[in-house]
């Protein structure tokens, strides 16, 4: 996805600058692949990206579909010839009608049978888009100019249905679920097993704690300073059994507990800030709630014990 240069950079929010808009879009695209889905529908994912980045993303998707046997339907505006050649099948639509649906390398043969030819050196993607425009269609007409007339989208769609390619498409029917192979369905709720999912969430939580190490060090140092100030009350004080000294003791104990509680407010704000990402990823079945909660609680135990001892 080309995100290696920002692998150690926070995504950012309204208050903190993070990765760029194009990198956020690539990150969102990569995030969707983590889930257990086997069919993906992507609309204009190249918007705001340069041609080189788009090529690397589509190339990654092609390898993913070949290795994992996924199904991806991607719509692109004006793809480059290199990107266009990465696709296996082509769906050409206009005004809600299917003009062509079939193998990419047979699209030119179909339109040649309809009377249109792609000039040598012309990008196939541009040819397919311009042939649907009444302004540009005539320049690709194979016959004499006198015999040309504009062929509408409805006529092209009818030609495709009458063609043997369109006939094969209509003859294909979806078999019942009992006849489908396991590779065609997502039988597992999550893409990882329980132990692997727990390890992945633990590694992510450890990485987040490492990135926020300054907060934990500052909290511990703050508690240490407050503890020294509180201890100074009892340096030259002899405790006796009396209401006055009992109030001193209870007041110091209450102050310590109160400071520990206040010291957890920064941690609370960080957890609340992560809730939108948690709910989004949980709804996409990236991981379960327990796999997220256990590492988030266990890894905080040493920090809590250290704060309590201080």
Over residues 264-293, the pLDDT tens digits come to: 777 777 778 788 888 888 887 788 888 888
Rounded to the nearest 10 degrees, the angle between the axes of helix 243-263 and helix 265-283 is: 40
Domain ranges of the chain: 4-184, 194-309
- How much is the pLDDT for 300? 81
Q: Please list the alpha-helical segments (H only) found in the chain.
A: 21-33, 51-68, 81-84, 107-113, 124-130, 153-162, 164-171, 194-211, 213-231, 243-263, 265-283, 289-298, 301-309
- How much is the pLDDT for 274? 80
DSSP 140-167: GBSS-GGG--PPPHHHHHHHHHHSHHHH
Across the chain, what does the average pLDDT equal? Answer: 78
The whole-angstrom separation of Cα 37 and Cα 184 is: 10
**pLDDT tens profile 199-224:** 888 888 888 888 778 878 887 887 78
Name the helix (H) or strand (E) containing 35.
Answer: none
The top-scoring range by mean pLDDT among 5-14, 26-35, 160-169, 205-214 is 205-214
Structure tokens at 66: 């070949």
Task: Considering only CA atoms, give the Rg of the chain.
Answer: 31
What residue has token string 């390890």?
Answer: 199
- pLDDT(252) > 70: yes
The model's confidence at residue 76, banded by pLDDT at 50, 70 and 90, is: confident
Report the candidate in 192, 204, 173 with the shortest Cα–Cα distance to residue 274: 204
User: What is each CA distance from 15 to 18, 119, 279, in whole angstroms?
Assistant: 10, 53, 21
Structure tokens at 269: 């704000």
- How much is the pLDDT for 98? 86
90-94, 104-108, 132-136: the lowest-pLDDT one: 132-136
Q: Does the 4-184 domain belong in CATH 3.30.460?
A: no
């Amino acid at each position: 996805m080309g995100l290696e240069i920002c692998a150690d950079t926070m995504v950012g929010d309204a208050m903190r600058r993070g990765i760029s808009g194009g990198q956020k879009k690539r990150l969102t695209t990569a995030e969707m692949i983590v889930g257990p889905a086997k069919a993906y529908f992507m609309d204009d994912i190249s918007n705001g990206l340069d041609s080189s980045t788009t090529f690397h993303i589509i190339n990654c998707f092609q390898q993913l579909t070949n290795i994992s046997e996924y199904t991806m339907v991607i719509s692109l505006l004006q793809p480059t010839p290199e990107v266009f050649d990465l696709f296996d099948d082509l769906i050409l639509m206009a005004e809600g009608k299917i003009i062509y649906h079939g193998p990419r390398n047979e699209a030119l043969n179909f339109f040649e049978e309809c009377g249109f030819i792609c000039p040598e050196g012309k990008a196939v993607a541009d040819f397919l888009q311009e042939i649907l425009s009444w302004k540009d269609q005539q320049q690709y007409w194979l016959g004499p100019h006198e015999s040309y007339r504009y062929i509408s989208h409805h006529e092209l769609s009818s030609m495709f249905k009458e063609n043997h390619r369109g006939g094969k498409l209509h003859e294909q029917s979806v078999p019942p679920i009992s006849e489908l192979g396991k590779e065609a369905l997502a039988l597992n709720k999550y893409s990882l097993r329980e132990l692997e999912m727990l390890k992945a969430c633990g590694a992510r939580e450890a990485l987040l704690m490492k990135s926020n190490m300054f907060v934990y060090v500052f909290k511990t140092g703050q508690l240490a300073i407050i503890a020294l100030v509180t201890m100074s009350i009892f340096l030259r004080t002899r405790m006796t059994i009396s209401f006055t000294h009992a109030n001193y003791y209870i007041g110091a104990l209450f102050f310590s507990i109160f400071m520990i509680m206040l010291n957890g407010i920064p941690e609370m704000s960080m957890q609340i800030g992560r809730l939108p990402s948690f709910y989004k990823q949980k709804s996409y079945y990236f991981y379960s709630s327990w796999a997220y909660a256990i590492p988030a609680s266990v890894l905080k135990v040493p920090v809590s014990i250290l704060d309590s001892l201080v």
